[in-house]
């Protein structure tokens, strides 16, 4: 925010955060073993970015802001990145990699079923976004 100054628009700040900060925060998240507390800490940092940019109180939900900024919550972003990563490994030319993916198949299926994906080879990003959109009805 100090780089942007007082005259910046919220959308340009969100764009910069999504472009520079989010990849740094989520570097390697496809292979992390996330505990609930570590996912919560990352989610708090991500949500606080939106609160800072839009001047919200810490008690307010940022899900509507994320929706209108075309941005997913961190939990959904990490899940979709994991599913896409597993999909790319599953179709790998390397038989060792394919075997390792099959060993972790149940974890991928559990994440996919959470979002209503019958097969995690489906369009992951679109389905995760639709799941997030439906969750906003209950906020």
- Within-domain flag for 3: no
**Is-contact 11 69, C-beta < 8 A?**
yes
Q: Is residue 139 pLDDT above 70, yes or no?
A: no
pLDDT of residue 74: 92
Query: Burial level of 47, CB count in 10 A (0-12/13-18/19+)?
Result: buried
- Within-domain flag for 95: yes
- Within-domain flag for 5: no
Domain enclosing residue 88, as ranges: 10-138
Rounded to whole angstroms, the Cα distance separating 7 from 42 reads 28
- Within-domain flag for 52: yes
- Within-domain flag for 1: no
- Total domain count, the chain: 1
Residue appearing with tokens 């299926």: 109
**Is-contact 76 131, C-beta < 8 A?**
yes
Rounded to whole angstroms, the Cα distance separating 106 from 101 reads 10
Per-residue pLDDT of 120-136, as tens digits, reads: 556 777 888 888 888 88
């Amino acid at each position: 925010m100090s780089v942007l100054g007082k005259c910046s628009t919220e959308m340009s700040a969100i764009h910069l955060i999504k472009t520079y900060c989010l990849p740094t925060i989520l570097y390697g998240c496809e292979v992390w073993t996330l505990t609930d507390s570590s996912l919560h800490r990352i989610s708090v940092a991500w949500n606080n970015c939106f609160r800072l940019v839009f001047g919200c109180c810490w008690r307010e939900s940022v899900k509507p802001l994320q929706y209108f900024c075309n941005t997913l919550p961190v939990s959904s972003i990490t899940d979709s990145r994991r599913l896409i990563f597993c999909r790319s490994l599953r179709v790998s030319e390397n038989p060792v990699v394919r075997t390792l993916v099959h060993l972790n198949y149940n974890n991928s299926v559990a994440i996919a079923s959470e979002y209503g994906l019958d097969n995690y080879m489906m369009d992951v990003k679109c389905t995760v976004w639709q799941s997030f959109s439906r969750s906003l009805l209950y906020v």
